[in-house]
Every structure is written in C-alpha cells, then in structure tokens.
Structure 1
C-alpha cells in the first residue's frame, strides 16, 4: 500500500465520495428546484468505467476502504450495476455504498447487492406523501417506500434514510419518523439544510438546527453511539426500545470538520477537498492509463497538503458549489 492519504491536521482519509453523474430526475427544493439543467447548456461526458476503476484503485492504494457512489441520481446510469461491481472488486475496498432517491430500488436493489453493494442510503424528506411531493417535485413516495422494504428483504441489515430538515415543511414530523423506525432497522439521518450558491432565500426561510432534535433524543433516553473509522459525520443515537437509529448531521456545529475523513471526486473527474470548497482539481488527464497511478496519487496528496482545516459556512461563504447534485452532496 502507498502512504495513507492524510492532511496537515493529521486527518486520515478512509472514505471516497465518487459521483458518477450530476443528472437527477427529482426536483428537490433544496437542490434542483427547477430540475436538472446541463452545465453551459450541454451534457458533458461523465467518468467512464475504466476511469472509475483507476480512481478507486489509486484511493484504495492509499488507505481508502469505503467508497460511496453518488450523483445526481447514480442509478440513472445504465452501467450502474457494473460500476458497483468494479468498485467492489478493488483490493482494500470493504464498503461500497450508494445514495439514491430510491425510485429504482424495488426493481434493482437485489442485483446491486449481488454486485457488491454493502450499504445504501435513501433520500426520504417526508413520510407524508403530499409533503414528499411538495419537497421532491415527484409523486414517487409509494415506490420509494417499496424500495426500502425490498432492500431489507434482499438482505441489507440496515437502510439509512436521509431527511433534510426544513423548517415549516417537514420539521414537525419527528414523532412520525420515530414511530416508523421503532420496529425497522433504519438509521434515520436528519441533515441540516446547507447553504449553496443557488438557494440563499430557501436557506434563510427553512434552515433549522438539529440541536432541538438532539436535545429531545437525549431527554428521552437516546444514547450517542461510538463513531467508526470510515463513518461519515453523523452523530448517531440508539435507544433500547428502538430497532432503528437516529443520526444528526449538523455542519454548522463547532468542530464539525475535525473528524473529516472523506474526499470527493466529481462525475467529470475533479477532486474536491470539501463540499464547500472554492475549486476542484482535474484528475481526468491522469485516469487514461494504468501507468499513471503514481502520478495520480501524487497529485491527490499535493492537494491534501493544501486542505483547509474547515469550511467557511459560518462566514456565509458556501464555496463554488452551485447545488448539492453538482459534486455528489
């Protein structure tokens, strides 16, 4: 194994978020409210299978053990199952996850698992079908719920469900969500709304801190779970009376970035140090031949030497990210 990817703050990077498309078929208010529009009005080519393989191979050589395949909506790629299989086949990769809106899960989640998918996150922003439609722009609630049931049926031990907290929209649904996970192996993850370049008004009107939920959980006997080496930033709570778990992702909380262990590569082959960074570094020219692996690793590590200690969201600076779909959330 080459030297472990690390930065100047002694953070080690075990986790790669790899976007394979920025196309999405949902129109979520906090991400793509007007639907997907190609950058500069034209579709550009996304990473090919061999480029994905070389990317993951380089990261695996430097200590990465978990890869999350993201989008946009990654399952829109016709070769999505092949992507899973390719990622899972890389030596050193022990966790292959994806984040999906869930609309194709019922039909395809069994083949994804067979191909090597070990973990799955599904976006569900409301358990009220009408509110689900209002937030996502799609009347797909029943299909998504059926997909979650199917994932558990085919052998996933747990499904993680991502819910973006939106004041005055889904913020009153905590009791409904808690009832839902009481008997189901679901880790429900409440994610604070994050400011990006195209949604200042939405953020101002609907941002809600996760602190009130955390206080409610602690007051009702929920306990903080220990964090694993390749886990994401969620604070996870467990309760003896619940099969499910609750995770809180609160990027505005002090010291949020101290435990950063993940890097991002966009669907067009750019390395991003942070979801809210000011630039991406092109890797694609080094993804064309196997012989370029050492040079690729060196370019990634050089950028890590310049990685900032944290984001600048508290200063109102959200970086260059126009919306979460653009580099995989």
Structure 2
C-alpha cells in the first residue's frame, strides 16, 4: 500500500489524535469562556480508534500523539493508550495534557504503554498561571511533573505559550528551572484563531526573538528526527534541560510538516489551520473498511497545501485550538 506522502514529497509518519474536545481549563488563548459543547455527536469509540490507528500504521505512521481538549477526562484513557501502543507499526505513543490528573495517573499511563508526555504550563508564578488558565492549579501541575519522572518518564516536555505583557518576562526563570531538570521546555508562539484576534494582537511574541536570545547565550540547535514534532530544539552544555521553539510564523515552517490530525469526532484535518476536515468515521465502524480508509487518506492528502496562510490572517476552520486538538 502507498505511504502517506504528499505532492511536495513530505512524508507523514505522525498522527495527532484527539479523543475529546472537552477541557476543564479556561486558557485565555484557547477557551477563555470555558468549554461549551457545540455538537451532539459522541467521541470516537475504542474500536473506532483501533481501526483508525491501524489504517494510519498500515501506511507508514510510526508515532501517535493523543490530544484533546483534555484527554485525561476520558475514563477509558488507559485502554486507548494500550490500544494505540499495541498496534503493529506504531513505535511511539505520546500525549499532551494540562496536567490536571497527572499526579494521580501518570504511573497508570506509563504502565499502559505511554512513551512520552507533554504538559501545558504557561507560568511558574501561581497567580499568573491562574490568570492565564482560569484555574489556581499550578501546584497540582508541578506535582504531576514530579509524578511523571517517578513513574519512569525520562524526560517531560512542558508547553508554554509566551505572551507579551503576561508571562514573557519569565524566560530567565524558566531557564533556571530547567537547568537541573531533564525537561524540554517548548515555547509556542501565540497563534491567531477564529476567536482570539484581539488577544493575538495585544500579546503575540515572536519565537524568532527568543531564538536570538538563546543563541547569544550559547544554546545549540539539535538535529531533527523524522518523527519529531514542529519544535526546533536547542541544548546547552550547562543545562540538563532543553528548549524547543515552535514558530508557525517562521518562513518555511511547513516545509518539514510530518503530521496529520484526526478530531475527536473522526474528521481528518490536513493542517491545524486548514479546511473543515474530511469525515472518516463511516469507515471506522468495522475493520473490513481498511482499503477504503487508505484510499480516502490518499485522496485527501493529494489536496494538502504547501503551507498554512497564517501570515495572511487566514485561520481556516480553526475556531479555537481545542476543536482540532492543538
């Protein structure tokens, strides 16, 4: 069967799979008014997830990242992790979480087969964390990071959206925090979506400006691996931790795209800031639909554009980041 390669010779070995669009945080750049269900559909079931991941794996996918919303709100999360991990061809299972249940459940996720964990944490200051996320839970997220290391995760990735006038002054504090810890701190540029235009205009910080500071301090860029995400990763001989920069407004950002997204409702999205999606769910009802699923993936991939249009202010069908899985 054909591999997942588009007309620009980009190979897609990485699936970002959302299992819910529900989130219990109210981050100002994503769900400032909290989650409000805008559909009556049920989320992908365990058998549907099994068939979906098998279809992607049969076409060369090697890595799956489980996302949300907040994936830990699914009661069957451990079963989902195990199902994905045991799919032939899948070499790595990662997950992105807000850390809400990490202290309690990190060991269970690890036992189920989770290889890598990312936690969103936008400030080291409890008051600022509360202001950005709407929840006074920094202590809980910090405890969750400790629990992840205790559970056997060798490295924890921490996702931070730096915003001018809010947490951008914390760069030095973050660097000091990772110096003795094996944490890959990933600074993500604030991205414009359909409902955050005013916030974007007021608080956007260029990732390139952060990179200039890092290079001046002796940080060195690492070589990118084929299944890595979009971050440009930097290391420093004096630090145990690493820095990752995700800069979607950087020229040629999309040249190395290697990931496809499926929403919690079973829609294939070729880009976080792309089209309304292709409905895959009717082909996930039974395993005999695998050839049809493969054909649909190839047909959709043939329409993938060379780049997003964020520079022109076009955000596609992405009303907020939780709707597609970030």
Q: Same fold (TM over 0.5)?
A: yes
Gaps in structure 2 of 5+ consecutive residues: none
Equivalent pairs counted in the alignment come to 326
Q: Distance in 2 between matches of 1:153 and 1:216?
A: 33
Q: What secondary structure, in the 3-state scheme, does the structure 2 residue paired with 1:68 have?
A: strand
Q: Distance in 2 between matches of 1:112 and 1:233?
A: 24
Gaps in structure 1 of 5+ consecutive residues: none
Q: Distance in 2 between matches of 1:316 and 1:136?
A: 25
Q: What secondary structure, in the 3-state scheme, does the structure 1 residue paired with 2:66 have?
A: strand
> TM-score with structure 2 length normalisation?
0.99
Alignment of 1:197-276 (within 5 A): 197-276=194-273
Q: Distance in 2 between matches of 1:122 and 1:13?
A: 24
Q: Distance in 1 between matches of 2:294 and 2:73?
A: 29
Q: What secondary structure, in the 3-state scheme, does the structure 2 residue paired with 1:173 have?
A: helix
Q: Distance in 2 between matches of 1:37 and 1:43?
A: 11
- Matched with 1:188 is 185
Structure 1 position 29 matched with structure 2 position 28:
yes
Q: What secondary structure, in the 3-state scheme, does the structure 1 residue paired with 2:295 have?
A: helix
Q: What secondary structure, in the 3-state scheme, does the structure 1 residue paired with 2:169 have?
A: coil
> TM-score with structure 1 length normalisation?
0.98
- Matched with 2:95 is 98
- Matched with 1:153 is 150
Backbone CA RMSD of aligned residues: 0.6
- Matched with 1:113 is 110
Q: What secondary structure, in the 3-state scheme, does the structure 1 residue paired with 2:297 have?
A: helix
Alignment of 1:50-199 (within 5 A): 50-199=47-196
Q: For 1:282, which of 273, 279, 283 is the aligned residue?
A: 279
Q: Distance in 2 between matches of 1:43 and 1:103?
A: 25
Q: What secondary structure, in the 3-state scheme, does the structure 2 residue paired with 1:172 have?
A: helix
Q: What secondary structure, in the 3-state scheme, does the structure 1 residue paired with 2:147 have?
A: helix
Q: For 1:297, which of 291, 294, 297 is the aligned residue?
A: 294
